[in-house]
Amino acid sequence: MRLPVRAVGLRTTIMLSFAVGALLLSAVMGIGTYLTARDYLVDQRERAAVREAFADASYVRDGLLTSGIEVSDVLGRVAPAADSTVLVKRFDRWFSSSLELGEEDVPAQVQRAVDEGEVAVVWTRAQDAPAVAVGVPLPAVDAQFFEVVATQELARTLATLRIVLLVFAAFTAAAGALLGRWAARRVVAPLDHVAGAAAQIAGGALDTRLPTTEDPDLATIVGSFNSMVDAVHERIERDARFAADVSHELRSPLTALVTSVDVLDGRRDELSERSRRALDLIKSDLHRFQRVLEDLLELGRLESGAARLDGSILDARDLVRFALEESGRDPALLRTSAGPGGTLVAVDKTQLHRALVNLFENAERHAGGVTGVTVAPDGDGVVITVDDAGPGVPIEDRERIFERFVRGGSRGSLPGAGLGLSLVAETVRAHGGAIWCGSAPGASGARFTLRLPSPDVVPDRAASPSEVRA
């Protein structure tokens, strides 16, 4: 069974690694220091105790050699260190220099060794504190000498050392964590730059590059990133060039064709009835071909962002009226309630004209024709609606119909390449506007709503560059 593990970020990982590393290191160092120091101190203490015991033992022996002196008198004259207690066993009687300690405080191990005539040193506990018990046989006076040295000082020293080392280890671990945090930030910072640059590039700023760096570790990332962007940029430019080349390649033969057909058309009187019908067929299909090609090229240029927007400020109502008239529709289809002004837009009139005519033609082809067009001011923009007489567009298709080569209704039932609406959408987007499809109020048909920003909302479009220079 796996526990749900929350993904740990790179930054946290680096920080934790530093902290754990520092802790381990300081723990090993601390424990080593402690053990070495303890062994040394214990050894020193033991030697000191033994030295002291021997000194005291010789004093006690010398005292006892003087005949007639009681053991207790000798013990009274011995002046052991404050934490030491001297005990003497003679003729199976125990004498002690302190009231607290007695026979039972001398370990049996030491007593046995002394019984056998040997000196013994043993660590023990006396009165709940560590102590060193030293036993020395005094055969000259038929006595046994013992000294118990309490080592509370040593215990306190070791305790202090332990605390100091623990605090030090904790401090080192915290410092490691801080260092890790800083290092993590250093490591991740370039990645943040990369992410920022990538976002800018995705947003269309294709000339964004990471600044070159002296850092040899980062130089690789920066270099790879920049060369990747270069490659992408070049690819996009190549596509744009390809579109331009295709445009030239296709337009030239098409121009020759259209011109030749115009010549034929100018001389249609000389043609037979049958030839004239064939000519009309060519003319209408050639016209369609020309329209599709122009739409395709325009769409490609809009999508690659290469299309220029030739801004001129005009009344959206004039634009719509003109588009209706020019495409052979009734200008009376335009209903507008707005007074003069308020419906001004900054647009490339040729492109928007093409978009409007495309919208009308779409209504004609797929939805029984345009039933009404309105133009109205709307906040800081202008809204144009186009209603049709069709069955409407199902809600699930209302976004999809603006994609390329998508047609409403049954596939192939009506002419048209399905480019029209996507061209309209791209054109409107290039103008900073929006387009959406809904249903016509009070009718079954669809309503296409097109919103364009007012001139003052579009910066620097009001004055064409040439006007500034003029």
Partner 1 sequence: MTSPPAEVRGASSPRRDWQHGRVPETLLILEDDDGIRTALRMAMEDEGYRVVDMARAEDALRVVGEQTVDLMLVDLMLGGMDGYTFIRRARPASDAPIIVVSARNDTVDIVAALEAGADDYVTKPFVVKEVSARLRALLRRGRGGAAPDPGVADRVVLDTAEPALVLDMSAGTVRRGDDSIHLTVTEYRLLCELASPTGRVRSRQSLLDAVWDKGFFGDERIVDVHIRRLRTKVERDPGDPQLVVTVRGLGYRLDPR
As measured in angstroms, the least distance from the Cβ of 274 to partner 1 is 18
Q: CA-to-CA distance for 381 and 375, rounded, in angstroms?
A: 11
Going across the sheet that includes 434-439, the strands are 334-335, 370-378, 381-388, 446-453, 434-439
Euclidean distance between the first and the last CA atom of the chain, given in angstroms as a whole number: 77
Q: Is residue 272 within the footprint of partner 1 (CB under 8 A)?
A: no
Q: CA-to-CA distance for 71 and 88, rounded, in angstroms?
A: 8
Q: Is residue 275 within the footprint of partner 1 (CB under 8 A)?
A: no
Cβ–Cβ contacts within 10 Å for residue 61, how many?
18
Closer CB to partner 1, 54 or 322, in the complex: 322
As measured in angstroms, the least distance from the Cβ of 432 to partner 1 is 19
Q: Is residue 466 within the footprint of partner 1 (CB under 8 A)?
A: yes
- Among 2, 6, 248, 274, interactor with partner 1 by CB under 8 A: 248
Cβ–Cβ contacts within 10 Å for residue 456, how many?
12
Q: Per the structure block, which two tokens stand in for 218?
A: 């980062």
Angle formed by the axes of helices 10-65 and 152-202, to 10°? Answer: 170
Closer CB to partner 1, 394 or 465, in the complex: 465
Q: Is residue 308 within the footprint of partner 1 (CB under 8 A)?
A: yes
For the CA atoms of 254, 260, 261, 267, what is the dihedral angle to 10 degrees?
A: 170
Q: Is residue 241 within the footprint of partner 1 (CB under 8 A)?
A: no
Closer CB to partner 1, 14 or 243, in the complex: 243
Q: Is residue 328 within the footprint of partner 1 (CB under 8 A)?
A: no
- Among 34, 54, 322, 436, interactor with partner 1 by CB under 8 A: 322
Strands 370-378 and 334-335: parallel
As measured in angstroms, the least distance from the Cβ of 297 to partner 1 is 10
For the CA atoms of 307, 308, 314, 320, what is the dihedral angle to 10 degrees?
A: -20
Query: Which of 349, 336, 379, 362 has its CA nearest to residue 419?
Result: 362
Q: Is residue 470 within the footprint of partner 1 (CB under 8 A)?
A: yes
Helix (H, G, I), strand (E, B) or coil at 51: helix
Stretch in the footprint of partner 1 (CB under 8 A) among 6-14, 234-242, 451-459, 462-470 = 462-470
Q: Is residue 258 within the footprint of partner 1 (CB under 8 A)?
A: yes
Q: Is residue 464 within the footprint of partner 1 (CB under 8 A)?
A: yes
Stretch in the footprint of partner 1 (CB under 8 A) among 71-79, 255-263, 412-420, 452-460 = 255-263
Q: Is residue 251 within the footprint of partner 1 (CB under 8 A)?
A: yes
- Among 21, 42, 208, 310, interactor with partner 1 by CB under 8 A: 310
List all residues 6 or more positions away from 63 whose beta carbon is below 8 Å from its beta carbon. 69, 73, 74, 77, 78
Closer CB to partner 1, 51 or 267, in the complex: 267
Q: Which long-range contacts (CB under 8 A, 24 or more apart) does 66-71 make?
A: 71/95, 71/143
List all residues 6 or more positions away from 110 whose beta carbon is below 8 Å from its beta carbon. 120, 122, 133, 134, 135, 146
Site residue total, partner 1 (CB under 8 A):
34
As measured in angstroms, the least distance from the Cβ of 392 to partner 1 is 33
Q: Is residue 378 within the footprint of partner 1 (CB under 8 A)?
A: no
- Among 263, 273, 339, 341, interactor with partner 1 by CB under 8 A: 263
Name residue 377's beta-bridge partners.
Answer: 382
Q: Is residue 276 within the footprint of partner 1 (CB under 8 A)?
A: no
- Among 208, 312, 336, 371, interactor with partner 1 by CB under 8 A: 312
- Among 290, 304, 439, 449, interactor with partner 1 by CB under 8 A: 290
Query: Which of 144, 148, 136 has its CA nearest to residue 91?
Result: 144
The contact pattern for partner 1, residues 330-369, with x = CB under 8 A and - = no contact, is -------------------xx--x----------------
Closer CB to partner 1, 80 or 311, in the complex: 311
Query: Which of 184, 168, 173 has its CA nearest to residue 20?
Result: 173
Q: Is residue 442 within the footprint of partner 1 (CB under 8 A)?
A: no
List all residues 6 or more positions away from 193 whose beta carbon is below 8 Å from its beta carbon. 210
Q: Per the structure block, which two tokens stand in for 437?
A: 């499809």
- Among 220, 224, 259, 444, interactor with partner 1 by CB under 8 A: 259
Q: Is residue 244 within the footprint of partner 1 (CB under 8 A)?
A: yes
Closer CB to partner 1, 129 or 271, in the complex: 271
Query: Which of 57, 140, 146, 39 has its CA nearest to residue 96?
Result: 146
Give residues in contact with partner 1 (CB under 8 A): 244, 247-248, 251-260, 262-263, 266-267, 269-270, 290, 293-294, 308, 310, 312, 322, 349-350, 353, 464, 466-467, 469-470
